[in-house]
Homo-oligomer: A and B are copies of this chain.
Amino acid sequence: MRCGVDIGGTNTIIGIVDDKGKIIDSDCLKTGKYESAADLTVTIAYSILRMAKVNQASIESIGVGCPNINPGNGRIEKAANLNFKEAVSLRDEFLKYFPDTPLFFENDARAATIGESVYGSAKGLKNFILVTLGTGLGCGIMHEGQLLEGELGMAGEVGHAIIHPGGRRCGCGRQGCLEQYVAANGILATYRETCLRNGEQARAEDYHALAELARQGDSTALQAYREAGTTLGIALANMACFSSPSHIFLFGGVAQAGEPLMAPAREAFEKNLLFCYQGRIRLEFSGLMHSARNAGILGAAALYRR
């Protein structure tokens, strides 16, 4: 059995997977509850050991997807969306509990990209981009079947491309990053700004409540999604200029908002694509979208295959 751990800004999902890619057991922790990497890891380790025991499974490898991690050494320097901002080696933390198990670490979005390639809609595709929209915006770029890592193992950090110099403050310490306009907190900020402009009382405390308002047809909430979708569509058209993919897949909690976000995103994407790409790049939802929980586990569990 393989183990996959997906550490996200909101949830940490842990699962064990058989040789056919079937998830045998899984568990979920609230990432925000843990103040340090050590606290989080001990709880993850307990969960893995418990699942292994209950299912009488021997764990052949553990793959961990995590924001801002260096895949080479398993170090997190400063994760914008995690509580623990200090530089820390997640590999060292895991080694305390699993000294003899092969360990693999990867940026969460890049792990999801491998998951899409192995289990999802990108099977057999050589050039595609996966964009994860959740607490932040993550991205994995597959080029000729090879996942872009780059010199520092940090390729695909396009959530932190600056689209509005001097704009909204980001957890990374800078201003105007893409994710501050199209990921969960960004859409919430747009909603609040719109309410303020309209002299309305904001009716959503957090992103979850905003998504619910949009589902109920609240016009201000829908307007916030429309603005985010348009910005996202232009950003995706710009990404296409960089690596010339055949497909772009969207994934994650925010992508699950569906058409209120996707209709303007698709429109802005096609309108803003450079002529040589027009009609030639498919913008789709991830094939693992029906179960974000499973996708995170599968991507992380598949890391041993790299």
Q: Which residues of A come within 8 Å of B, CB atoms?
A: 68, 77-78, 126-127, 141, 143-144, 146, 148-158, 160-162, 165, 172-174, 234, 237-239, 241-246, 272, 274-277, 280-281
- Which B residues touch A239, using CB under 8 A? 242
Contact between B151 and A234 (Cβ–Cβ < 8 Å)? no
Partner of A276, one of B126, B127, B157: B157
Contact between B244 and A172 (Cβ–Cβ < 8 Å)? no
Q: Which residue, of A148, A154, A161, has the highest number of chain B Cβ atoms within 10 A?
A: A161
- Which B residues touch A242, using CB under 8 A? 141, 148, 155-158, 161, 239, 242-243
CB of A88 to closest CB in B, whole Å: 14
CB of A296 to closest CB in B, whole Å: 22
CB-CB nearest in chain B for A161: B238
Contact between B149 and A244 (Cβ–Cβ < 8 Å)? yes
Contact between A162 and B234 (Cβ–Cβ < 8 Å)? yes
- Which B residues touch A148, using CB under 8 A? 143, 242-244
- Once A68-B276, A274-B172 are accepted as A-B contacts, the answer to whether A244 and B154 lie under 8 Å apart by CB is yes
- Which B residues touch A245, using CB under 8 A? 150-151
- Which B residues touch A238, using CB under 8 A? 158, 161-162
CB of A173 to closest CB in B, whole Å: 6
Q: Could you list 7 A-B pairs, sorted by A, with CB under 8 Å?
A: A77-B275, A126-B151, A155-B244, A161-B238, A162-B237, A162-B238, A174-B274
- Which B residues touch A234, using CB under 8 A? 162, 165
CB of A233 to closest CB in B, whole Å: 10
- Once A172-B274, A239-B242, A276-B78 are accepted as A-B contacts, the answer to whether A150 and B161 lie under 8 Å apart by CB is no
> How many copies of this chain does the complex contain?
2
Partner of A143, one of B150, B165, B244, B246: B150
Query: How far is it, in angstroms, between the C-alpha of A53 and the C-alpha of B160 when the chains are bound?
Result: 55
CB of A137 to closest CB in B, whole Å: 11
CB of A117 to closest CB in B, whole Å: 15
Query: How far is it, in angstroms, between the C-alpha of A174 and the C-alpha of B152 when the chains are bound?
Result: 34
- Which B residues touch A146, using CB under 8 A? 143-144, 146
Q: Which residue, of A77, A157, A243, has the highest number of chain B Cβ atoms within 10 A?
A: A243
Partner of A244, one of B153, B174, B274: B153
Contact between B277 and A244 (Cβ–Cβ < 8 Å)? no
CB of A208 to closest CB in B, whole Å: 28
Contact between A274 and B160 (Cβ–Cβ < 8 Å)? yes
- Which B residues touch A172, using CB under 8 A? 274-275
CB of A282 to closest CB in B, whole Å: 11
CB of A241 to closest CB in B, whole Å: 4
Contact between B160 and A241 (Cβ–Cβ < 8 Å)? yes
Q: Which residue, of A157, A238, A239, A274, has the highest number of chain B Cβ atoms within 10 A?
A: A274
- Which B residues touch A281, using CB under 8 A? 151
Query: How far is it, in angstroms, between the C-alpha of A274 and the C-alpha of B158 when the chains are bound?
Result: 10
